[in-house]
Chain A
Amino acid sequence: MNNSSNTNQNIIITGVGGQGNVTLARLIGESVINDNKYITIGETFGASQRGGSVMSHLRIGNSKIYSPVIPLKKADLIIGLEPVETLRVLISYGNPEIITVSNKKPIIPANVLSGEAEYPLIENLEEKINYLSKKTIIENFTEIGIKDGHHLLSNSIISGVVSGLKIISGFNEKNFTATISKYYFGKTLEKNIAAFLKGFKMAEIY
């Protein structure tokens, strides 16, 4: 991915229904709307809130974007809220230039609970995600969020990391704060902004 002004960016946010996937896509999209002429979001709603795999396709750029659905192998950035889902999307949409930001915290599928399938070892998952990505940031963002007050702060930390990587034009602290202020107030808002800044700093190490 590069920052040149007429390159459209293809971002996939993936995870499990109920993780805030659709909200995160909207949050990033609304944050960068003024810096970009064209934005589309394609949301796979079917399994949302019902524990299935969920993907949002976010396309941002200065030249006309047609389909709200990203073609196979064409993602520039994957934001994964669950590691198996991150890998699943990498397999279908990955390419040698792809950058991946992923949560490490597993959500166990029903067929693993029943013993029909096995959940891979986290180290193994991490290795495969690295193997298919040009650059990877993978952490247990949920654990960091819990330490800071709520597990769902993980999504704001991840937003901060993505912003810190400076790959989505216009996705900065100012725009993020302006957007999230429309949805949250008071302490919740403060915590989310702090989480974003924490993520932003984390990206510097990479």
Chain B
Amino acid sequence: MYSISDMKPSEKKLMMGNLAFARGIIEAGASFASGYPGTPSSEIIEALAQNASKTGMYVEWSINEKTALETAAAASFANQRSVCVMKQNGVNVASDFLLHLSYSGTRGGLILIVCDDPGALSSVNEGESRHFAKMLEIPLLEPSDFQEAKDIVKQAFELSEHLKSIVMIRSVTRLSHASGIVEAKDSLNHKTDPYFHHSGFILDPETGPIMSTPVTYRHQLMEKRMEECQSFFNDSKINRYFGPEDPELVIITSSVDFLYSMEAIQELGLENKTGILKLVLTNPLPEKLINQFFLKTDSILFTEQVLPFIEEGVKNIYADNYNLDKKIKFYGKKSGHIPQTGETDTNIIINALSKIFDLKYSNSDENYDKKVIETAFSNVTPGREMTFCPGCPHRASYFHLNNAIKLDNSDGFICGDIGCYTLGMLPSGYSTLKTIHSMGSGTGIASGFGSLKKYGFNQTVLSVCGDSTFFHSGIPPLINAVHNQSSLTMIILDNSGTAMTGFQPHPGEKNTACGCEGMPVMIEEICRACGAKTHVLDPFNYDECQQKIPEIITQDNVNVIILKHPCALSPQRKNKKYYEIEIDHDKCLGNKCGCFNFCTKIFKCPALYLNTVTKKPEIDKTLCAGCGFCADICFHNAIIKKAAVNE
């Protein structure tokens, strides 16, 4: 794997959008980077951490996004260029600090890179981070391709230093997780000695203390800052028009929608009629530039991901044009030409343009379409929902939890949150998760349910939370439950790392982001110190879990069970089997056993399937991770596990 810090000026590489951002951060000479992992943002900090020994950059995975932003802000206060990275949900977590930071201002360039996930391709929401920029009055930049993702970083630092404000860059999954050709530039040496000047006059931005008061004074500065921000890019070509001089229609767009819009125009052959105004600065919107287009065209189409952010902003600017004696026809999410939910793509924009220009677009062959419809309706493509990987400790954990809840017979349930273990809501987790919200919220909700006992609420309440999530936001609700004498069992599914996003270390680990030694903070000790009765079990220890979990969950007050076993894909387990699994076809009675194919039908490990001819299970050796759990659940001991020999 090549290293992004080794690239020479004008060298070109096929690069993922997130690596382009990381290269941009290195080129801009940043000295501090922090973040909390979350798809589709994680690769930025990962790449910076991998290159830290060469670049000398300080890189950390912080405990959560709010703390990440606070640490990055401190570096800025000490006159360093610093960057903070998170996914869209993270901005919600960091927003309290972000509001105050918007008032207090910054010193060294400070950038917040947020990766949104339109269509929720790997999220449990498609939240819009752009509205935070508007609400908190900070500049927002949206790069539209891979090269721009890299190049915008340096400009964002310059803008941040010019305005003394944090600058937000918004990416989306299709930019962060897609790849294209990126050309490198020289890396700047921007290193200065870190020093925090704090003894000057209270209003001196260079030497005074840094705070959000006096509030109205600072708020006025923020307003001025937003005006200045527009003129900063006046001469720059980052907001750019592509198309004919007198377009019938102008598409106003940003981010990857620029790419989709270009392709749609090309596909429909509308190059002579339609132009595209690509905006990179989307908060504040460049008013002067946009006003020119009210004179240039009669029709405007907005293409953007998720909410009508640019659309509403441009309509606002239009409404301020009192002297404009012209009516513009607007198309977009409000008119129904572009959906307001889910991802947009080239096809959606093709449809919108076809509707506006009354074109009959077809790229299909009638005969072929018939064949496709015939095939689609012939029932040969069963759906494929996500499932726990073979050998996943979560499948074993949910197996125990489901059994314990069923045995308890009080219509108990589990409150969950975000991680691989969210799949507990699906059949592969026995559909045991009944609430799913933000990080750590399962335990907060469980705390509330548990406090309803005084009104006769008698359902057993459990919560699940991952190890990284425990540190992120699982501790306050646990303390809340203990202090208020709620009744619940918090299950911590500890698989030794932030597994879902690629095994980034968390405070419970021995190493930090850059592979340096860190001080591990023990989950078990924290839970005990909080006053919860705490148990540590291995989910692959079938007998112990089957015996103890049903007992623990019925005990009053707050219990914690840490179900601890490394992820099957973790570096310590990947490609290493504990057991070789065989089916004893003499012992296995198949569907004559009375177990109703329990191992395949109920346990549902992808590596264990039913042979439809023999009606007996088979092991798919290309998938089996050798955890041995299926051998423990067979009523007839017909699944045999033998110690595996690993190379």
Contact = CB atoms under 8 A, between A and B. Distances in A.
Interface of A: 16-18, 26, 29-30, 33, 37-47, 49-53, 65-69, 71-74, 84-85, 87-88, 90-91, 94-96, 105, 107-115, 117-120, 124-125, 128, 131-132, 142, 146, 151, 182-183
Interface string B116-147: 00000110000000000000000000000000
Given A18-B389, A68-B174, A74-B363, A53 B384 contact: yes
Given A29-B179, A142-B622, A50 B389 contact: yes
B598 to A, nearest CB: 11
Given A26-B179, A71-B345, A111-B384, 9 more contacts: A29-B14, A39-B14, A67-B260, A68-B180, A84-B384, A91-B375, A114-B427, A115-B597, A182-B2
Nearest to B145: A66
Q: Which of A37, A69, A72 has the most CB of B within 10 A?
A: A69
Given A51-B386, A69-B345, A95-B368, A43 B177 contact: yes
Interface of B: 1-2, 14, 39-40, 121-122, 173-174, 177-181, 256, 259-260, 262-263, 266-267, 345-347, 350, 363-365, 367-368, 371-372, 375-376, 378-389, 420, 423, 426-428, 569, 597, 600-602, 604-606, 608-610, 612, 620-623
30 contacts: A26-B14, A29-B179, A33-B14, A38-B181, A39-B14, A41-B14, A41-B178, A42-B178, A43-B177, A65-B180, A68-B256, A69-B174, A69-B178, A69-B260, A69-B345, A69-B346, A71-B350, A71-B363, A87-B375, A87-B381, A90-B372, A91-B376, A96-B368, A109-B382, A113-B604, A118-B379, A125-B380, A128-B375, A132-B371, A146-B622
A71 B380 contact: no
Nearest to A48: B122
A110 B180 contact: no
A159 B123 CA distance: 32
A71 B347 contact: yes
A110 B179 contact: no
A30 B622 CA distance: 27
Contact of A110 (B367, B376, B427): B427
Smallest CB-CB A-B distances: 8 pairs: A68-B178, A46-B122, A117-B382, A51-B387, A52-B386, A151-B622, A66-B259, A120-B380
Contact of A39 (B174, B181, B256, B363): B181
Contacts of B382: 84, 109, 111-112, 117-120
A108 B122 contact: no
Given A69-B345, A87-B381, A51 B606 contact: yes
A103 to B, nearest CB: 11
From B262, B385, B389, B423, name the one whose CB has the most chain A CB atoms within 10 angstroms.
B385
Contact of A67 (B173, B256, B609): B256
A183 B2 CA distance: 10
A68 B91 CA distance: 26
Contact of A47 (B386, B600, B623): B386
A109 B383 contact: yes
B141 to A, nearest CB: 20
A110 B375 contact: no
A38 B12 CA distance: 11
A52 B375 contact: no
B609 A49 contact: no
Contact of B363 (A66, A73, A87, A146): A73
Nearest to B179: A41
Contact of B380 (A46, A49, A53, A87): A87
Contact of B39 (A18, A46, A51, A151): A46
A50 B263 contact: no
Contacts of A29: 14, 179
Given A69-B345, A94-B372, A40 B386 contact: no
Contacts of B426: 110
Nearest to A105: B622
B520 to A, nearest CB: 26
B387 A68 contact: no
B384 A16 contact: yes
A66 B260 contact: yes
Nearest to B617: A113
Contacts of B620: 107-108
A87 B375 CA distance: 9
A21 to B, nearest CB: 13
B388 A117 contact: no
A91 to B, nearest CB: 5
Nearest to B600: A113
Contacts of A128: 375, 378, 380
A191 to B, nearest CB: 14
A45 B375 contact: no
A148 B503 CA distance: 32
A96 B363 CA distance: 11
Contacts of A88: 381
A37 B14 CA distance: 11
Query: Among the interface residues B350, B602, B604, B612, which one has the most CB atoms of the partner chain A within 10 A?
Result: B604
Contacts of A52: 384-387
Nearest to A53: B384
Contact of B384 (A46, A85, A105): A85
Chain B CB within 10 Å, residue with most, of A43, A50, A52, A96: A50
A50 B420 contact: yes
B383 A117 contact: yes
Contact of A42 (B174, B263, B376): B174
A67 B14 contact: no
Contact of B387 (A50, A65, A85, A91): A50
Given A91-B372, A107-B623, A113-B609, A51 B389 contact: yes
A44 B380 contact: no
A198 B620 CA distance: 24
Nearest to A146: B622
Which of B368, B383, B388 has the most C-beta atoms of chain A within 10 angstroms of its own C-beta?
B383
A113 B601 contact: yes
B552 to A, nearest CB: 29
Contacts of B262: 66-67
A157 B367 CA distance: 33
Contacts of A47: 386
Contact of B180 (A39, A45, A90, A94): A39
A38 B146 CA distance: 12
B423 A50 contact: yes
Contacts of A69: 174, 178, 260, 345-346
Contacts of B173: 45
B81 to A, nearest CB: 29
Question: Which of A38, A53, A113, A119: most chain B CB closer than 10 A?
Answer: A113
B353 to A, nearest CB: 13
Contact of B347 (A16, A49, A72, A108): A72
